Structures are given as structure tokens and as C-alpha cells.
């Protein structure tokens, strides 16, 4: 990249209806004035964005870098555009990028795009391009997200109906349950349909299928957790380490101390993928109940005076480290644990 004398850094602030783009050219290590423009977050807007880039001389190769924040679904058109044009794109964590700005006064979409443009220039040596958009992966993530939302709705309805049985008259309760029956059955049917689509996607993609089988070989990891892990890690793109996965899931403990005055207890950080953490919690409860290795570990730590949640977090951490290990080695989990005679 250093053989070229001109580089282009593009920062994009994305929202649902439009996005603001800022472009900085760096010629012979000299920063040119930043150009900014707003485009519709639509296919037509993407055509205008491409035309604007070409008018400003931006190259569609490794001499350019686009930086955007992860906005869930709103940045998908830009991601697709960059994939098709082979334009390097970095999709960054919004909180991490925001903290890198330091103390910032004032905020609007245009200013944010300029800040992202400067961030791209400043951090270009450390930023890694995001994997190309995979339509199958997006489909899988959409189905997983829909299943999670439907399960929450179904659980909420069932819990409410159950709780009302203690206060309602029998006749009124029967009417209520009869009225909600079609909704409950409809949601349950939709969840079943989504599960079928998820299974089709996993079975139809060799890479997904391989990692799914590896994950299922780990004690405690079931179908739902395995599929969610594939989706939320983009099928383990970038080969994340065990520590990176533990941090992402919010199960990695960090020291909290400063000098001689602050001696806080070691704790996990509040920033995490909460859904993954919840799934790992269920996995931990399962292995503690059904696997002798973890039963004995749990009892031993209790005898040592450890708090129950501290022990559960340690079990969650063990599970996620095994996830990283089997994915890295591409071989199923082997249980070498032996109970002493």
C-alpha cells in the first residue's frame, strides 16, 4: 500500500433514510480538504455515491478505506456495495469508535462522518477490513433474530396467562385462554417454520455445517447456541481467540484496581453480547447438572467459598474457550476427563 502516493479515507455515518459520507484524499502524505455529501440509503443513493467517489478520484482498491459503525441492518446496502466493488470496508464497534474521539463537543450526522473519516486516516494501520458480505450468513442471522423475538413473545403470553389463573374466575380465564390460543399456536408454528429454514441453511453450506457439528460436540452446546454462535461471529471470521470470544460474550474477568487506594474485585465488563451470555448461562447450568466433571468442579469451588455466580461464570468461560479450541483445530471436542477411583 505504501508504494502508492495517494490514499482515500471515507467515513460514513449511516441512518435509516440516508447516510452522510466524508472523503479525505492524502497525497504524498499531505491531507487534502475533506469533501462531504449526503445520499439516500437506497439503491439509487448507492449509484450516486459511486458517481461521487469517482468524481473525487477515489480508487476502488486497497488504496481506499471506508469506515462505518455497526448499525445492525441499516448499513447492509453499503456493505453490499463495498463487497461488489472490492472496496475495503471496516465495520467498527460504535462504542469503541466513539471513545476514540475523546472529548467531543457538538454532534450531527455530517460531523460524525467527518470524525469517522479522520478515524479511518488515524487508525488505518490498525484497522482490518471486514469480511465480504455473505448473503447466506445474513439470512441465517435474520432467522435467528426472528426466532429470538418470537420466543420472547410466546413466553410473555404464556407467563401472563399462567399468572392470571390465580386471580381470574374460571369462566373468564377460559375465555381469555381461548382468545389467545390462535395467537400462541400461530407463533409456535412460525417458530417451527423458522427452525426448518435455519436447518436448510446450515445443511446447504459446507462451512456452516462443519462448524455446527464441531460446536455440537462440546458438552452443553446445543442446536440453538451452536447456530447463534455461527451467526454472531460471522462463522468465526477472523479466527477469534478464546479470550476474544470470552470478552465478546461478557464472561472474561478483568482486574479493577489503581494504585493503593482502589482494590475492587475482579469482574466482567457490562459490555457484551447479552443474548450469547444468556445462552452460555443455560449451557453452564446444563453441564453442572448433567456432567460429572462440572458437578465436581462446582462443588469444589463452593467448598472454597466462591460465590455461585462466580462459579457459573467460570463454567461459561470454560465452555467458550472450548468453542475457540475446536474451531481453531477443526476437530471435535475430546473429553479426556477421568474420575479418580
On whether residue 288 sits in a domain, the answer given is yes
| Residue 42: domain span | 6-122
Q: Would you give the distance in Å from CA 76 to the centre of its chain? A: 15
On whether residue 130 sits in a domain, the answer given is no
User: Which residue shows C-alpha cell 413473545?
Assistant: 153
On whether residue 65 sits in a domain, the answer given is yes
Tens digits of residue pLDDT in 124-162 = 999 988 989 899 999 999 999 999 999 999 999 999 999
109/224 same-domain check = no
Lowest mean pLDDT among 16-20, 220-224, 250-254: 250-254
Binning pLDDT at 50, 70 and 90, where does residue 341 land?
A: very low
Neighbour-count burial for 15-39, b at 16+ CB within 10 Å, e otherwise: eeeebbbbbbbbeeeeeeebbbebb
98/157 same-domain check = no
Mean pLDDT within 269-294: 90
Cα dihedral value 241, 245, 248, 250, nearest 10: -130
76/182 same-domain check = no
277/323 same-domain check = yes
DSSP secondary structure string, 257-324?
EETTTEEEEEEE-S-S-HHHHHHHHHHHHHHHHH-HHHHHHHHHHHHTT--HHHHHHHHHHHHHHHHH
What pTM does this model have? 0.84
More confident residue, 293 or 266: 293
How many structural domains is the chain composed of?
3
55/93 same-domain check = yes
- Please give the grid coordinates belonging to residue 52: 461521487
On whether residue 166 sits in a domain, the answer given is yes
166/232 same-domain check = no
Amino acid at each position: 500500500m505504501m508504494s502508492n502516493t495517494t490514499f482515500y479515507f471515507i467515513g460514513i455515518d449511516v441512518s435509516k433514510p440516508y447516510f452522510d459520507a466524508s472523503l479525505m484524499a492524502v497525497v504524498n502524505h499531505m491531507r487534502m480538504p475533506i469533501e462531504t455529501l449526503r445520499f439516500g440509503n437506497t439503491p439509487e443513493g448507492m449509484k450516486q455515491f459511486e458517481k461521487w467517489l469517482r468524481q473525487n478520484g477515489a480508487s476502488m482498491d486497497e488504496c481506499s478505506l471506508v469506515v462505518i459503525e455497526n448499525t445492525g441492518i441499516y448499513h447492509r446496502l453499503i456493505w453490499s456495495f463495498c463487497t461488489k466493488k472490492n472496496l475495503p470496508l471496516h465495520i467498527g464497534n460504535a462504542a469503541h469508535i466513539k471513545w476514540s474521539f475523546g472529548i467531543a463537543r457538538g454532534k450531527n450526522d455530517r460531523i460524525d462522518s467527518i470524525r469517522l473519516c479522520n478515524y479511518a486516516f488515524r487508525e488505518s494501520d490498525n484497522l482490518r477490513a471486514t469480511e465480504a458480505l455473505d448473503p447466506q450468513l445474513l439470512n441465517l442471522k435474520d432467522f435467528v433474530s426472528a426466532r429470538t423475538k418470537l420466543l420472547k413473545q410466546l413466553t410473555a403470553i404464556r407467563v401472563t396467562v399462567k399468572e392470571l389463573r390465580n386471580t381470574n374466575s374460571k369462566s373468564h380465564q377460559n375465555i381469555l385462554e381461548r382468545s389467545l390460543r390462535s395467537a400462541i399456536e400461530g407463533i409456535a408454528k412460525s417458530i417451527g417454520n423458522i427452525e426448518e429454514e435455519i436447518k436448510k441453511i446450515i445443511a446447504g453450506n459446507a462451512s456452516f455445517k462443519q462448524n455446527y457439528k464441531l460446536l455440537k460436540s462440546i458438552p452443553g452446546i446445543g442446536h440453538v447456541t451452536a447456530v447463534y454462535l455461527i451467526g454472531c461471529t460471522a462463522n468465526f471470521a477472523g479466527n477469534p481467540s478464546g479470550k476474544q470470544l470470552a470478552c465478546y460474550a461478557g464472561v472474561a474477568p478483568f482486574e479493577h484496581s489503581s494504585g493503593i487506594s482502589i482494590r475492587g474485585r475482579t469482574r466482567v465488563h457490562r459490555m457484551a453480547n447479552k443474548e450469547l451470555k444468556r445462552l452460555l448461562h443455560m449451557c453452564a447450568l446444563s453441564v453442572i447438572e448433567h456432567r460429572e466433571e462440572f458437578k465436581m468442579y462446582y462443588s469444589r469451588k463452593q467448598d472454597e467459598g466462591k460465590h455461585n455466580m462466580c462459579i457459573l461464570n467460570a463454567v461459561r468461560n470454560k465452555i467458550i474457550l472450548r468453542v475457540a479450541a475446536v474451531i481453531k483445530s477443526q476437530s471435535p471436542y475430546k473429553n479426556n476427563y477421568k474420575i479418580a477411583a
